[in-house]
Amino acid sequence: MSLGAESVGIRVRYAIEINKSACETFTQNHRDATVINSDVRLIHQLDIGIRNEPVVLFGGPPCQGFSTSNQRTRNKDNSSNWLFLEFFRIADLIKPDWIVIENVAGITHTEKGHFLILLQQQLSSRGYNFQSGLLQASEHGVAQKRQRFFLIASNCKDLSPFETIKKSDEEFTVCDAISDLPALSNGFSAGSLPYRKPATNQYATSLRGNLTDCEGHLVTKNAPHIVARYSHIPQGGNWSDIPAELMDTYKDRTRCHSGIYHRLKLDQPSIVLGNFRKNMLIHPIEDRGLSVREAARLQSFPDSYTFVGSIGLQQQQVGNAVPPKLAAAVFSFLAEHYPA
């Protein structure tokens, strides 16, 4: 979200995050921001200095409890589902002119929309006008089908309908996103590598910038019996294409969801990344999982953006992130109403 905010001229001053490796990644890529590695519930003071420009508070409260893939704790009893109230406690501390909230689409219907109603009540009680809706990342310049909920609120402006957020003129595919990146193998681990070929489309060109090589070529090393399954899966296929005898480690393979062992299609946007290592998303033409850089490309991170930590932590950071190009579309909507 910070990359999207910065792309329209919003200067990021503070970031609060409980995950240490995510803080280290943020610090490395956002040198001018103060990063607070803490549970947000322990933050009771923020010095934003003299208010000579509008203040924006933005973020994404923990979303696992709202996700449709989580049926066990997707309810009012999940304590993580109430952390969004901390967002408004911080709002009371700094009294922002603008608020931007991101979450999974499930927040709109979990507990019959209870949490969405509470969000709206929290904003209304503080005098904010707001607009909200679901946005599809592939419609806003991201090479991935990833639907997310966004809410924008202002304490002084009537906002245009959310549907007026500008969409991209082109839908980008997996081929557009990763075909210029180096060929890799199962378990590959390397620092910087040169590109495989020149960028031939707007998507790859915009993410490469002026670089001649990039980092993040880390691929999970899967066991031989897992790699053996990959060769049976065509582009767009999944676990159901794997012969039953190769899936004997599963107690009941029919309970796998459609995203397990999904091989991406070159000519379409990626399916949602999420936990792409756990789901074992497969490269479209190579029998291996996605590298950290390939996943970052599908999320629309620039190649200059580097990730810190073990391969698992880097994969988690990429999969959890808001696609920067999607965030940019949201903050561009805000900027249209921003006081000059």
Residue-wise pLDDT tens digits, 43-71: 999 888 778 888 999 998 875 554 445 44
Query: Could you tell me which of 206, 207, 208, 213 has the C-alpha nearest to residue 191?
Result: 213
Distance in angstroms (rounded) separating the CA atoms of residues 93 and 90: 5
pLDDT for 254: 80
Alpha-carbon distance of 243 to 264, in angstroms, equals: 19
% pLDDT > 70, the chain? 94
Q: Which helix (H) or strand (E) holds 227?
A: helix 224-230
CATH fold, domain 174-320, is DNA Methylase; Chain A, domain 2 (3.90.120)
What's the pTM? 0.91
> What share of the chain has pLDDT > 90, as a percent?
72
Whether the pLDDT of residue 77 is over 50: the answer is yes
Q: Crossing angle, helix 20-29 and helix 311-320, to 10 degrees?
A: 70
Q: Which helix (H) or strand (E) holds 14?
A: strand 14-17
pLDDT (0 to 100) of residue 73:
46
pLDDT surpasses 80 at 74: no
Residue 14: how many CB atoms within 10 A of its CB?
15
- Calpha distance 172→187 (Å, rounded): 28
- Report the alpha-carbon distance of residue 290 to residue 261 in Å, rounded: 12
Residue 75: its pLDDT value, please? 44
Tell me the fold of 2-167+322-337: Rossmann fold (3.40.50)
Condensed to tens digits (0 to 9), the pLDDT of residues 308-325 reads 999 999 999 999 999 999
Predicted confidence (pLDDT) per residue in 86-131, tens digit: 989 999 999 999 999 999 888 887 777 788 888 899 999 999 999 9
Nearest to 302 by CA among 311, 293, 312: 293
**Buried residues in 144-177 as b, exposed as e (16+ CB within 10 A):** bbbebbbbbbbbebebeebeebeebeeebbbbbb
The structural domains of the chain, with segments of one domain joined by +, span: 2-167+322-337, 174-320
